[in-house]
């Protein structure tokens, strides 16, 4: 039985690249960083997860069933929401906030891309695009929830003073909500500003390595960067609004809480 038929990847190249992980682990050991175990565990998990998803995507691409495509996207969103919810420790109902925010960001973005016929609804196209959209939305949601929590927790006195003067909860917290949304959007905007100057993004690099012309790769990358900004805005706005609501009662009273560590 041919091993390559069961395991069709170039192990030699993978093992050669793993030498860089060994070098990083050696540096960690030399500097007493104690990160060697984490590096090896992360590398092993990445290997297993990527091989598994490779087989799964091969099956999905071959079948190209719409229901299966939607199921894969839903699974992506649920996992992203779970991860973002864990990062949003201290935010009441963080998982639910993350699930709704990421779902809205991903659904609106992918829906517009399909309606405008920018991408076709096929497994080989929409699943990688959905992965980028959901991953970006997850990062924005995590940043916005965490910053909103910190702002509201750290500004209780100012917010309560505004409430005492008759301001609504939204008006009292509005300056801090704007900061939270800005913190979630800024890294993505900075990346967009410097794209092509500091680094060649993954999608563009992948297309060039696959043999596409640089201009074709650039065209796709421009679409992706604009797509990320849109997804981040949809997700960020939803996340900051829903997170804000977790800290106020319907009567516009601030819920007392301990400052987050």
Q: Is 256 inside any structural domain?
A: no
In a shared domain, residues 35 and 164: no
Which pLDDT score, from 0 to 100, does residue 227 have? 92
In a shared domain, residues 50 and 176: no
Distance in angstroms (rounded) separating the CA atoms of residues 174 and 162:
11
∠ CA 139-244-91 to the nearest 5 degrees? 60
Give whole-number Cα distances, 170 to 147, 242, 246, in Å.
Answer: 16, 11, 12
Q: Is 261 inside any structural domain?
A: no
In a shared domain, residues 15 and 75: no
Query: Of 15, 30, 63, which closes a domain?
Result: 63
In a shared domain, residues 43 and 71: no
Q: What's the mean pLDDT in 206-234?
A: 87
Query: Of 37, 63, 89, which closes a domain?
Result: 63
In a shared domain, residues 46 and 100: no
Torsion of CA 17, 21, 22, 26, to 10 degrees: 150
In a shared domain, residues 59 and 137: no
Count: domains in the chain: 2
Tell me the HSE value of 87 on the side-chain side, using a 13 A CA sphere.
19
**How many residues make up the chain in this entry?**
261
Which pLDDT score, from 0 to 100, does residue 155 have? 78
C-alpha gyration radius of the chain: 22
Range of 5's domain?
Answer: 1-63
Q: Is 252 inside any structural domain?
A: no
Distance in angstroms (rounded) separating the CA atoms of residues 30 and 22:
12
In a shared domain, residues 57 and 102: no
State the SS3 of 27-83: HHHHCCCCCHHHHHHHHHHHHHHHHHHHHHHHHHHHHCCHHHHHHHHHHHHHHHHHH
Residue found by looking up tokens 């990160």 in the block: 35
Which pLDDT score, from 0 to 100, does residue 1 have? 41
In a shared domain, residues 10 and 75: no
Instruction: Give residue-wise pLDDT tens across range 83-115.
Output: 999 988 888 899 999 999 999 999 999 999 999
In a shared domain, residues 73 and 187: yes
In a shared domain, residues 53 and 72: no
Instruction: Give residue-wise pLDDT tens across range 63-77.
Output: 889 999 999 999 999
Q: Is 186 inside any structural domain?
A: yes
Whether residue 203 contacts residue 133, with contact meaning beta carbons closer than 8 Å, is answered with no
Burial class (CB in 10 A: 0-12, 13-18, 19+), 48: exposed
In a shared domain, residues 236 and 168: yes
Whether residue 141 contacts residue 98, with contact meaning beta carbons closer than 8 Å, is answered with yes
* pLDDT above 90 (res 162): no
Instruction: Give residue-wise pLDDT tens across range 177-214.
Output: 888 899 889 888 888 888 777 667 777 777 888 788 88
Distance in angstroms (rounded) separating the CA atoms of residues 84 and 5:
38
The SS3 of residue 157 is helix
Distance in angstroms (rounded) separating the CA atoms of residues 246 and 199:
39
Which pLDDT score, from 0 to 100, does residue 8 have? 56
Q: Is 253 inside any structural domain?
A: no
Q: Is 6 inside any structural domain?
A: yes
Query: Of 15, 42, 63, which closes a domain?
Result: 63
In a shared domain, residues 76 and 59: no
Q: What's the mean pLDDT in 116-134?
A: 91
Q: Is 38 inside any structural domain?
A: yes
* pLDDT above 50 (res 4): no
């Amino acid at each position: 039985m041919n091993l390559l038929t069961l395991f069709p990847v170039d192990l030699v190249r993978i093992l050669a690249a793993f030498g860089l992980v060994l070098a990083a682990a050696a540096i960690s050991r030399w500097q007493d960083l104690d990160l060697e175990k984490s590096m090896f565990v992360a590398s092993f998990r990445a290997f297993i997860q990527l091989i598994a998803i490779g087989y799964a995507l091969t099956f999905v691409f071959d079948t190209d069933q719409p229901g299966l495509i939607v199921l894969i996207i839903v699974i992506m969103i649920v996992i992203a929401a779970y991860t973002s919810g864990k990062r949003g420790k201290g935010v009441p109902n963080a998982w639910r906030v993350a699930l709704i925010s990421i779902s809205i960001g991903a659904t609106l973005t992918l829906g517009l891309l399909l309606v405008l016929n920018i991408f076709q609804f096929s497994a080989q196209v929409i699943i990688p695009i959905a992965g980028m959209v959901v991953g970006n939305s997850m990062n924005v949601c995590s940043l916005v929830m965490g910053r909103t929590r910190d702002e509201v927790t750290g500004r209780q006195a100012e917010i309560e003073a505004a409430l005492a003067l008759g301001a609504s909860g939204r008006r009292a917290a509005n300056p801090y909500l704007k900061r939270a949304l800005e913190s979630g959007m800024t890294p993505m905007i900075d990346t967009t500003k410097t794209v092509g100057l500091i680094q060649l993004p993954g999608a563009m690099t992948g297309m060039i390595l696959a043999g596409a012309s640089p201009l074709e790769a650039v065209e796709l990358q421009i679409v992706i960067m604009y797509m990320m900004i849109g997804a981040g805005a949809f997700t960020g706005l939803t996340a900051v609004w829903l997170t804000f609501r977790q800290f106020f009662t319907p009567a516009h009273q601030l819920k007392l809480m301990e400052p987050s560590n």
